[in-house]
Chains A and B, each alone.
Chain A
């Protein structure tokens, strides 16, 4: 069941690694070797990747990931880096750990949101608790001690994470 997503996932990495073996493309022996090795990897790790990993084979989701990473995520990182540079120079910090309630359903959504929050400087996810539907975030400049939603910390990231990980 998990065989096909792992196979495609690892075969794509193989194609990236061996690109250029015949001009700009792949020689047939590299392709055959890639199929064999991806098959072995997929057979051995098909139980690890998770039961519903095949939902990430949807091309609409890939477009979503690309749009998210070069759009909101990149822009959020630029803004947050400048903000942290400002705080480094002026020394105006008020650090603290806050509990952020989130409305997510599965592991992938929690991972996407947590990594996005950690990637934007000034905020760092300490722990994700799916049982109480909350993230614990270390924040460089606490403006709200008990936020009602993740809007103040992550902006639109939660909406994107809910859509991408569904």
Chain B
């Protein structure tokens, strides 16, 4: 069952594949700096290398890809698959959205030439520069413009180049997009609106190319927040987000853009929003995460189950941060009696806090240990200290250990 991951580490994959492109703030110099940091890092302990490429949740062939019960009835369950990384699957989803909805448009900073992460490659050539276009460099403008288009009944797929730069648009997102339907009594809405944005750690992103701002948005009632963990998930959840009749913020863990490669159904399919996915069944402890954190948790579980023979962990990918799937999580914790939640964002007011308090309300009599939160620290996201900052597999393992030995 336990697989020793002795191939390239994720850090090496990243530095070789140059995952983080040159952005307006990040100079190429920093890639080299990062490579040297990784070379000086201690070897992964316990014989484990964290690596999405070797994850058991990555679908390595057509059969595995199509075995997903959520695909039944979508029309792709007997179709073809192709090997895509996460940026290619995002591109594929947008390509389908543009082809199936003539009122859909894709825009943002530098999207016309393909985007700084290549997610919009070829779309302008295929669908025309009126439907896939660059905007001036203004996040509040992009957000306002998208809201205006969506208010006219169009499907606006707008990109924020990094989630770190979504804050200039915070007012438009929180005061306008989120409240558009409510305040008008339902006569107007911006349901056709989706913001896509690369998020989370990337090895060397420093303060402003690493943030996971998902917890800022659920507090503004009216928004949906989604974060996929893999190419299959990204395509299905993005198509669902684009077609959902509510404004959705779709965060794409940029570390997975090239690193996560799996067989993805070629057809048009959606995965349900608001629905968590149980990735691994277990009976002793529930482990909850989302985005790229899933892979750190997967490895932590492998360590834990090796160290504690007979231990059985249940792993859940929340997928939709908000509105979140309370039922799936509560059912799981009522079964296991223990909960570990991990996310990269800082701990205080992170989304784990919301989940922990809800689970405490719903599962009080079943909880056998304090709910463990493994998160980023309450500091800005640091450059050179990243390895100490992120809730890596070792910190996640420690939290699982604390939960099961309490």
- B is a partner of A: no
Binding site for A on B (CB under 8 A): none
Tell me the A residues contacting B by CB distance below 8 Å.
none
